[in-house]
Structure 1
Amino acid sequence: MNERRKSLELLNSDRKFALFLDRDGVINRRIVGGYVTRPAEFEFLPGALEAMSIFSKLFYPIIVVTNQQGIGKGKMTEEQLNEIHSFMKEEIRKAGGEIHAIYHCPDLKVSHSTCRKPRPGMALRARHDFPALNFKHSMMVGDMISDMVFGHNLGMITVLIADEQLARKHPMLIDYRFNSLYDFAMIISKFDVQEPPKK
């Protein structure tokens, strides 16, 4: 989508490529005007579980970075969010996939918190926990422009999960666009990526 488009070819030889994923609107269905507050409200998007299984064979680490201001608004607690994420991780594991870390920011959008995307706080926490992490050998997949800014500013390859209309508004922030996480997985699976390192 811009001059960095050929950068996906790096996947042919780099065995430590990392994958950052947004959650709502990418892995699970976004609740418009509301928040997922319990596991029963968490609905995987079509093909998302299959996509996560494919990614687990190609990337390490796989990291979810998600803004969750519903906590800051008092709509849910940290404990409730942990229950949701435990459910998500278990279902992904059952499907043959894996998430190696989840980082969330509970702060309100108006707080201008450094942990809230598009600011880099969650990525910096990930680099602390995974010292070998190289942002230039990482991909950021999200459905919002804030996700694209987050990844772009850190030098990641950015992948937008949205329609073409949104992508056309911000061409310099977006390297690739797909309609779904599954569509992206189908393309990325064609690359000859080496197996991720063993734990």
Structure 2
Amino acid sequence: MVIPRWPPIVYNDETPAGSDTTLWDSPLASDNCPCRKPNPGMALEYLEAHPEIRASLSVMIGDTDSDVEMGRRLAAETGGCAVFRIDHRNDPEADVTFASLAEFARGVGSALEG
């Protein structure tokens, strides 16, 4: 949900297919902001402002260790959040690892069709 170099897509059961939300973290690490990865503050604020979104049906998609950690922390805070990693190597901390963004898109497309 919060990735500075690569914008993520947030899907949930309340959002029509094809729509998305992108959140960015921008404070410096020295600011120790709860909204900076791997802290889940920005995602928690967004979920609080949008109670129609069920966190347990949200997905964190990222390509760094801090993205995965942020998704894990968000899941711990909310009771749910799937964590997808985009990387050529399998990440045991992620729920699912895709080798590329294209592979992820194919997987989502297949799931929506099936």
Post-superposition offset of 1:111: 2.4
Q: Is 1:127 the equivalent of 2:52?
A: no
Q: Show the counterpart of 2:88.
A: 163
Aligned alpha-carbon RMSD (Å): 3.0
Aligned-residue sequence identity (percent) comes to 27
Q: Show the counterpart of 1:60.
A: 15
Query: Relative to structure 1, is the Cα distance of residues 187 and 179 closer, same or farther in structure 2, using a 3 angstrom cutoff?
Result: same
Is there any run of 5+ residues in structure 2 with no aligned partner, and where? 76-80
State how many pairs are aligned.
Answer: 107
Whether contact under 8 Å (2:61, 2:83) holds in the other structure is yes
Whole-Å separation in 1 of the counterparts to 2:4 and 2:16:
16
Highest relative contact order (Cα 8 Å, sep 6+), 1 or 2?
1
Q: Show the counterpart of 1:181.
A: 101
Post-superposition offset of 1:133: 1.8
* TM-score (norm. length: structure 1): 0.45
Deviations 1:41-78 (A, max 9, x none): xxxxxxxxxxx7xx88x87279xxxxxxxxxxxxxxxx
Query: Relative to structure 1, is the Cα distance of residues 117 and 161 closer, same or farther in structure 2, using a 3 angstrom cutoff?
Result: same
Whole-Å separation in 2 of the counterparts to 1:190 and 1:109:
38
Deviations 1:8-66 (A, max 9, x none): xxxxxxxxxxxx36352466xxxxxxxxxxxxxxxxxxxxxxxx7xx88x87279xxxx
Deviations 1:62-109 (A, max 9, x none): 9xxxxxxxxxxxxxxxxxxxxxxxxxxxxxxxxxx543x433332111
* TM-score (norm. length: structure 2): 0.73
Is there any run of 5+ residues in structure 1 with no aligned partner, and where? 1-19, 28-51, 63-96, 194-199
**Equivalent position amino acid for 1:128 in 2:** E
Q: Show the counterpart of 1:24.
A: 5
Bigger Rg over Cα: 1
Query: Relative to structure 1, is the Cα distance of residues 107 and 61 closer, same or farther in structure 2, using a 3 angstrom cutoff?
Result: farther
